[in-house]
Structure 1
Amino acid sequence: MELNEYLAYSFPGLHLKPSLFNQWHIGIHFELGENLYQFKYGNKLNLDLFELVYSQATAIFKELFSEQDEIMLVTNAYLHIWNKKIVKAPKVYKQFLKNKELKHNIRQKTLPVMIDDEGNPSEYYISQFHVKCKKGDLNYPLLIKATCNKDFHLKPKLGKHKGAYGPDVFFVNISKNIIYYIYDDRGCEVIATNKETIVPLTIIRSGLPNITEMRLKGCLT
């Protein structure tokens, strides 16, 4: 089953893009960082914040994904509408896939031109890539760090196409029907088809390091 078929069957009507929590009826939104700021002492980055966010985002990933789960690693690359050349897969796959053989299995599709907040066509369209893998195929600790570093000059980085901005990365657990999306250092979203698969995150919250805030949708009995 390819990504389109899977989403249509398991998450009908969902668009794999930011704000998953607002699109779906079962989910959790986490704010990360314990009210710390990205900068301290002027323009110096607060590395303590980033280390905390890395640990929070990784703890959530480990709770959601087991070694046996089938995963789709999905990236949305944002490209200018004048860029009609053949687009290569984002560096995400080259950098963070430990199983290099999987690069031959990467699939791509072009999505329509994006719409801005006022309903007008933007200057970008989405080139979406995905590959099926297992947890052990991913260098997920570094990939999670890269997603959290999206807006800052910190390594590792996701990389981006010239003239556009960095890709979004979605971890899709097709065994448990869970989608995990870290939008940047500020927070992340988890949605699922069955509340029972993500309710444990609400129970273990005290074990997650200093989550700032957690909003629930459809997870309460």
Structure 2
Amino acid sequence: MGNGYLDDLLLNNFGGIELKSPLFYNAPVGIRFEMGGDIDVSEKRIQQVKQRAVTLFNAVNQDNDSIYFVLFMDSWDEHQVVDFENDVLKVFENFIDGIDLKQIFKKEQEYRYKDTGEDDDTVTIRYCAKLKVRNLNIDNLIWAIANRTIEIEVSSIVGDIFLVNETKKIIFYLYDDRGLDIVVENKKILKPIYEQYNDWILDYDREKIKMIFGQ
């Protein structure tokens, strides 16, 4: 269940959406949540990020759901795959219980941000593995992603990570300690989340999100 299945899922259920920032603005149905808010103290900020992100993840995913753990790395002349691949594999080992490295599928693709005018020689490497939600160490993963920018300690995370729920057709993307995007095929899945966690929605996008959910 490798790259081809993930490509089919994105094409058939999300219109071929690219897994890249800003995910929320590239999807017809989704919510952008504020994570760290205006908390300046690092420890308190990371605690809030973790609490909100884990709560939202558990609200839209169930233990037996099948998900793709997708990690992107960019490669160029001075940043070859051989320089970072061991670190990538450690991410899968650290946050997925019982992962077999043979289950990780690798695909080289066009640089995701080629329209920014950066080096044409840059390519993107996509790594993905399929697993059950129950095998994902979500608490530790969220902490590590948030810590990468807050830097309480050296983060064990490399790359850009997306969690794609094949069972419920949901994309979950904590881009850093500032915000989290949840994108879905069917807005009925997100409506209860919109209502229950409305206070966490990023104010900048609140009106757009309100229009999506018909309020």
What TM bracket, shorter-length normalisation?
0.7 to 0.9
Deviation at 1:13, TM superposition (A): 3.0
**TM-score normalised according to structure 1 size:** 0.82
Q: How does 1:1-221 map to 2 (within 5 A)?
A: 2-37=5-40, 39=41, 46-85=42-81, 88=85, 90=88, 91-101=90-100, 103-115=101-113, 118-121=116-119, 124-155=122-153, 157-160=155-158, 167-205=159-197, 211=200, 213=202, 215=206, 216=209, 218-220=212-214
Helix, strand or coil: the match of 1:151? helix
Superposition misfits of 4+ residues, deviation over 6 angstroms:
none
1:15 is paired with a residue whose SS is coil
Structure-1 separation of matches of 2:186 and 2:123: 31
Which residue identity does 1:189 align to in structure 2? D
C-alpha separation between the residues in 1 aligned to 2:123 and 2:107?
11
Structure with greater strand percent: 1
Q: Which moved more, 1:16-25 or 1:85-94?
A: 85-94
Query: Across the two proteins, how many residue pairs are aligned to each other?
Result: 204
**What TM-score does the superposition give when structure 2 sets the normalisation length?**
0.84
Partner-residue secondary structure (3-state), 1:18: coil
Distance in 2 of aligned mates of 1:143 and 1:159: 8
C-alpha contact 1:113 1:121 (8 A) present in aligned 2: no
In the TM superposition, residue 85 of structure 1 has moved relative to its aligned partner by: 4.8
> 1:189 offset after TM fit, Å?
0.3
Whether the 8 Å CA contact 2:150–2:177 is kept in 1: the answer is: no
Whether the 8 Å CA contact 2:69–2:164 is kept in 1: the answer is: yes
Aligned position for 1:163: none
Distance 1:65 1:85, change over 3 A: closer
Summarize the Cα distance change of 1:152–1:124 in structure 2 as closer, same or farther, 3 Å threshold. farther
Computed over aligned residues only, the root mean square deviation of the Cα atoms, in angstroms, reads 2.4
Aligned AA (1:97): I
- Aligned-pair CA distance for 1:82: 4.6
Does the aligned pair in 2 maintain the 1:29–1:188 contact within 8 Å? Answer: yes
The more displaced of 144-153 and 81-90 is 81-90
User: 1:9-55, CA deviations, whole angstroms, 9 ceiling, x for partnerless residues?
Assistant: 11123111111111111000011123212x5xxxxxx2111111110
Tell me the amino acid that sits aligned with residue 36 of structure 1.
I
Give, as a single letter, the amino acid of the residue that structure 2 aligns with 1:65: N
Contact 2:24 2:182 in 1 (8 A): yes
Identify the range of structure 1 (11-20 vs 73-82) with the bigger mean alpha-carbon deviation. Answer: 73-82
Q: How far 1:211 sits from its partner (Å)?
A: 2.6
